[in-house]
Amino acid sequence: MNSAPLALYLHFPWCVRKCPYCDFNSHTLRGEVPEADYVAALLRDLDADLLSLGDQVRPVTSAFLGGGTPSLFSGAALQQVLDGVRARVGFVDDAEITLEANPGTVDEAHFAGYRAAGINRLSIGVQSFNPAHLKRLGRIHGADDALRAMRVARAAGFDNVNLDLMFGLPDQIANEALADLAQAVALSPEHLSVYQLTLEPNTEFAARPPPLPDDDRVADMQIALQARLADAGYAQYEVSAYAQSGRQSRHNLTYWAFGDYLGVGAGAHGKFTLAGQVQRRAKHKHPKTYLATAGAPSAWQENRVVPPAELPFEFAMNALRLVDGFTPMQFEHATGLPMTVLDDALDKARAQGLINEEGGRLRASPLGYRHLNRLMGLFL
Please write the tens of the pLDDT for every residue from 168-183.
Answer: 999 999 999 999 999 9
- At the topology level, CATH places domain 310-377 in Arc Repressor Mutant, subunit A (1.10.10)
Q: What is the pTM of this model?
A: 0.95
Q: pLDDT tens digit string along 369-380?
A: 989 999 999 998
What is the dihedral angle through the alpha carbons of 21, 26, 28, 31, rounded to the nearest 10 degrees?
-160
Across 73-89, average pLDDT: 97
Q: What is the CATH number of domain 6-254?
A: 3.20.20.70
pLDDT at res. 121: 98
d(CA 117, CA 138): 30
150, amino acid identity: M
Asked whether the predicted pLDDT for residue 78 surpasses 70, the reply is yes
Per-residue pLDDT reduced to its tens digit, 207-265: 999 999 999 999 999 999 999 999 999 999 999 999 999 999 999 999 999 999 999 99
Q: How far apart are CA 227 and CA 233, in angstroms?
A: 10
For residue 42, pLDDT beyond 70: yes
- Domains of the chain by residue range: 6-254, 310-377
What band does 2 get if pLDDT is binned at 50, 70 and 90? low
In the chain, the percentage of residues whose pLDDT exceeds 90 is 89
Query: In the predicted model, what is the mean pLDDT of residues 109-123?
Result: 96
**Alpha-carbon gap, residue 176 to 174, rounded angstroms:** 5
Residue pair 229/242 in contact by the 8 Å Cβ criterion: yes
Q: Would the pLDDT of 1 be above 60?
A: no
Q: Is 31's pLDDT higher than 90?
A: no
The arithmetic mean of pLDDT across residues 142-148, rounded, is 92
The pLDDT tens digits of the residues spanning 314-336 come to 999 999 999 999 999 999 999 99
Residue 337, pLDDT score? 95
For residues 352 and 365, what is the distance between their CA atoms, to the nearest angstrom?
A: 10
Average pLDDT over the chain, rounded to an integer: 95
Q: Is 265 left (phi over 0), alpha (psi -120 to 50) or beta?
A: left
**Comparing 6-254 with 310-377, is the CATH topology the same?**
no
Positive or negative torsion for Cα 75, 77, 78, 82: positive
Contact status, residue 292 vs residue 359, Cβ threshold 8 Å: no
Residue 275 — very low, low, confident or very high, per pLDDT cuts 50/70/90? confident
| Residue 288 confidence (pLDDT) above 60 | yes
Tens of pLDDT, residue by residue over 182-209, are 999 999 999 999 999 999 999 999 999 9
Least confident of 105-109, 122-126, 355-359: 105-109
